[in-house]
A and B are shown apart, each in its own frame.
Chain A
Amino acid sequence: MIGVRSNLDAKGWNTEIMGSLKPKFWDYQDITSGPARRMFNFRRMWKLAFFLTTGVALVPLISMAMLDYKVTQDAIESEILLRTSRLVSNTQRTISYFMAERRSALDLVVHENTFEILTDHAHLSKIIQDLKETFGGFVDLGVIDPLGNQRNYIGPYSLLGKDYSNQAWFKEVVAHGVYISDVFLGFRHIPHMVIAVKHELSNGFFYVLRATLDTEKFNDMFSNLEIAGRGDAFIINYEGILQTPSRLHGNVLEKLSLPIPEPAPKTRVLEWKSADEVSLIIGYRYIAGTPFILMVVKQKEELMKPWYTTRMEVIGFLVISIIIILLVILSGATYLVNRVYLADQTRIMTLHEVEYSNKMASIGRLASGVAHEINNPLAIINEKAGLIKDLLTFKKDYTKDPRLIGLVDSVLSSVERCGRITKRLLGFARHMDVSIQSTKLDEIIHDVLGFLYKEAEYRSIEVSVKIPNDIPQLETDRGKLQQIFLNLINNAFAAMSDGGHLNITARREDKDFVSATITDNGCGIPDEDLERIFEPFFSTKTKKGGTGLGLSITYGLVKDVGGTISVQSEVEKGTSFTITLPLKMEQKEGSKT
């Protein structure tokens, strides 16, 4: 058993690496039955171990990663929306304030000055001068009476006396008291806007103060805004005409390429996909009391960029972890199942050896019993025949027929032959027990050949034994050695066709070892089988009743007596087994047959 295991180890040594790629148990097919059957389905065991561990290890990992992905994505998106919303609100406040400031200025002017003062050219000129200096952006200033006639005007154009009564803005300001226009080019051909306020006196008389503002200051507010993510902040009117220049979505007074957001009383942020699949974050606010909509447009991709980088790192880490985990589980499962497989194989081998040695012991007991029972009657035949011979020899009365003595002689020689057979049977049985004794190699070989010489004769196999005289006596287990030679010579006989040659030679290897070589000129063993012949159940004779155990038992026996066995073979040329035996066998503690 020990020997067989070491054989596996030696084989495992160079297949270990290959084994981790394709383990040995993978292709194992259970063909035997009974107690020696495999206890496990290795492929299923491996699959179970692999998939279970993989599932347990990877499911939490992947779900954690996915959860984290989702959570951080949501967080970063809401952060972006929140920031945009805040920016829109702040900007809206600034714009509202800007507009309110100018309106208040005009309000102040109409409250502080009477219609008479305002229609005075010098006075109005002074007022616009003051406004330009304090607020800036005022281009012209006009006073219009309730009939829509411009009664006073200070500005670069001569608009004095112009009738506005039919213009929409005039009706608007009369109705609501204040009017803020869209940005328009007008006949000045520079973008500007108009603010008009109505001042109603207690007597029902009213007048309108109309100021034109250039949009430069207005635009400055946006150009100074720092907006992340290639963002853009601008104002449109309800028709979607850009009121301030934008970086990416058109110039002043052009139509905005984005849809006009639906009216809402508060700041709103929404996501919008443009036609070319660019995701935009749009924040907007309808600015109260004006025809303006403030819009902040950011590119989502740009904003998400840092998160994408982090995400890629996390995914990369995840993928590497999964690969490592898979590799570890794969090799771990393979290693473990391989171990179980080897252990099971050892168990089966042990079982077989026990079974075999039990069988051999039973045969031995049977043989010795039969031999003993036969020996007694044989002794009687021997003595009776001897007596007859004596009578024939001593008393002259019986010597009339000369054939009688010949018959008795042939009975005696047959008895002798039977005796030889029973003695050999007894010898065979005797060696079932472990015992170390001094033996001669040639004696053992001749003993074994004695069993087989009849077969050799029938099949005209020529057996030559050359054992030099310098082979010393072996201190070894005679029975085991007999069995080894019996197995090997039997195998050689089986491999040879009739008329083959069997050579048995021996030589001294060194101080402690001798070797014996058994060479036949039989069919040989193909290379692919050569490394497996010592494995149990490897048999090419299965159809002819081979058990596939002979050589593995031989191997075990050789190991038991402390020797080694090797084989060389060439197909169609023959096979040669060489066993190396120690001169003195070391009795192993607890060694068994």
Chain B
Amino acid sequence: MTEKVLLIDDEQDFLDALSERMRARDMEVTTSTSAVDALKMAKKESYDAIVLDLMMPEMDGLEALQEIKKNNPELQVILLTGHATVEKGIEAMKLGATDFLEKPTDLKTLTEKIKNAHTKKMILVEKQAEEKIKKILAVKGW
């Protein structure tokens, strides 16, 4: 199955290399160097997972995370950072991040996390669909 992933990081070089490698592993990757642009993209399209750098100019990772979760709670966000602290990690998890990874990271680990996130999202979407069906059944019961 193809995962649809949005990569957000202020380093273009990093994005290029990582996205190419992920595409080589059968993933549909979109990149953005700005959290603000990424938010717009997330609104327009649906992604299985968003990989977000914690420290960015303009809007940092935690703010972006909050924004994303506000608009679309079922979106799976994986935080990636070069400056991992326990507090930041806990804060991120509290805000609803799916996972937290330290740079430089192993692509294998990242891929696994994305796959997990995708599965999680599938379950959530299915649940939502089920609820919808139940609702319809309840309302339009005949």
In the complex, A375 Cα to B107 Cα: how many Å? Answer: 15
Residues in A whose Cβ lies below 8 Å from that of B14: 376, 379-380, 383
The answer to whether B85 and A380 have CB atoms under 8 Å apart is no
In the complex, A381 Cα to B105 Cα: how many Å? Answer: 11
Nearest-neighbour CB distance to chain B for A244, whole angstroms, equals 121
Residues in A whose Cβ lies below 8 Å from that of B137: none
Nearest-neighbour CB distance to chain B for A203, whole angstroms, equals 154
Residues in B whose Cβ lies below 8 Å from that of A271: none
Q: Which of B16-24, B38-46, B117-125 contacts A (4 or more CB under 8 A)?
A: B16-24
Q: Mark A363-386, 1 if CB is under 8 A from B, else 0.
A: 000001001111110111111101
Nearest-neighbour CB distance to chain B for A66, whole angstroms, equals 79
Residues in B whose Cβ lies below 8 Å from that of A328: none
Closest to A419 in B: B104
Residues in A whose Cβ lies below 8 Å from that of B13: 380, 384
The answer to whether A372 and B85 have CB atoms under 8 Å apart is no
In the complex, A197 Cα to B103 Cα: how many Å? Answer: 151
* Residue B73 at the chain A interface, CB threshold 8 Å: no
Compute the total of residue contacts between A and B using a CB distance below 8 Å. 66
The answer to whether B85 and A379 have CB atoms under 8 Å apart is no
* Residues in B1-59 with C-beta less than 8 Å from chain A: 11, 13-14, 17-18, 20-21, 24, 55
Closest to A384 in B: B17
* Residues in B64-94 with C-beta less than 8 Å from chain A: 82-86
Q: Mark B92-108, 1 if CB is under 8 A from A, else 0.
A: 00000000001111010
* Residues in A368-416 with C-beta less than 8 Å from chain B: 368, 371-376, 378-384, 386-387, 390, 394, 415-416
* Residue A311 at the chain B interface, CB threshold 8 Å: no
How many A residues are at the interface, by size bracket?
A: 20 to 34
Instruction: Report the count of interface residues on B (CB-CB < 8 A).
Output: 19
The answer to whether A426 and B84 have CB atoms under 8 Å apart is yes
The answer to whether A386 and B107 have CB atoms under 8 Å apart is yes
Residues in A whose Cβ lies below 8 Å from that of B11: 376, 379-380
The answer to whether A376 and B107 have CB atoms under 8 Å apart is no
Nearest-neighbour CB distance to chain B for A477, whole angstroms, equals 13
* Residues in A4-45 with C-beta less than 8 Å from chain B: none
* Residue A103 at the chain B interface, CB threshold 8 Å: no
* Residue A430 at the chain B interface, CB threshold 8 Å: yes
Residues in A whose Cβ lies below 8 Å from that of B24: 390, 394
The answer to whether A375 and B103 have CB atoms under 8 Å apart is yes
Check A376/B18 contact, CB under 8 A, given A382-B105, A386-B107.
no
The answer to whether B17 and A380 have CB atoms under 8 Å apart is yes
Nearest-neighbour CB distance to chain B for A347, whole angstroms, equals 34
Q: Per a CB cutoff under 8 Å, which of A368, A371, A378, A387 touches B20?
A: A387
In the complex, A473 Cα to B17 Cα: how many Å? Answer: 42
In the complex, A419 Cα to B55 Cα: how many Å? Answer: 17
Nearest-neighbour CB distance to chain A for B55, whole angstroms, equals 7
Residues in B whose Cβ lies below 8 Å from that of A426: 83-85
Q: Per a CB cutoff under 8 Å, which of B21, B84, B104 touches A378?
A: B104
* Residue A255 at the chain B interface, CB threshold 8 Å: no
Nearest-neighbour CB distance to chain B for A397, whole angstroms, equals 14
* Residue A86 at the chain B interface, CB threshold 8 Å: no
Check A376/B17 contact, CB under 8 A, given A419-B104, A423-B102.
no
The answer to whether A379 and B83 have CB atoms under 8 Å apart is no
The answer to whether A387 and B21 have CB atoms under 8 Å apart is yes
In the complex, A376 Cα to B105 Cα: how many Å? Answer: 11
Q: Per a CB cutoff under 8 Å, which of B83, B85, B104 touches A382?
A: B104
The answer to whether B82 and A379 have CB atoms under 8 Å apart is yes
Check A372/B55 contact, CB under 8 A, given A379-B103, A386-B107.
yes
The answer to whether B104 and A375 have CB atoms under 8 Å apart is yes
* Residues in A329-388 with C-beta less than 8 Å from chain B: 368, 371-376, 378-384, 386-387
Q: Per a CB cutoff under 8 Å, which of B17, B84, B86 touches A386?
A: B17
Beyond the given A371-B83, A394-B24, A430-B86, please list 7 additional residue pairs across the A-B interface where CB-CB is below 8 A: A375-B82, A379-B103, A380-B13, A380-B17, A382-B104, A386-B17, A390-B20
Residues of A bordering B, CB below 8 Å:
368, 371-376, 378-384, 386-387, 390, 394, 415-416, 418-419, 422-423, 426, 430
Task: List 7 tightest A-B contacts by C-beta distance, closest first.
Answer: A375-B82, A383-B17, A382-B104, A372-B83, A379-B103, A379-B104, A378-B104
Selected A-B contacts with CB under 8 Å, 7 pairs? A376-B103, A379-B104, A379-B105, A383-B18, A383-B107, A390-B20, A426-B83
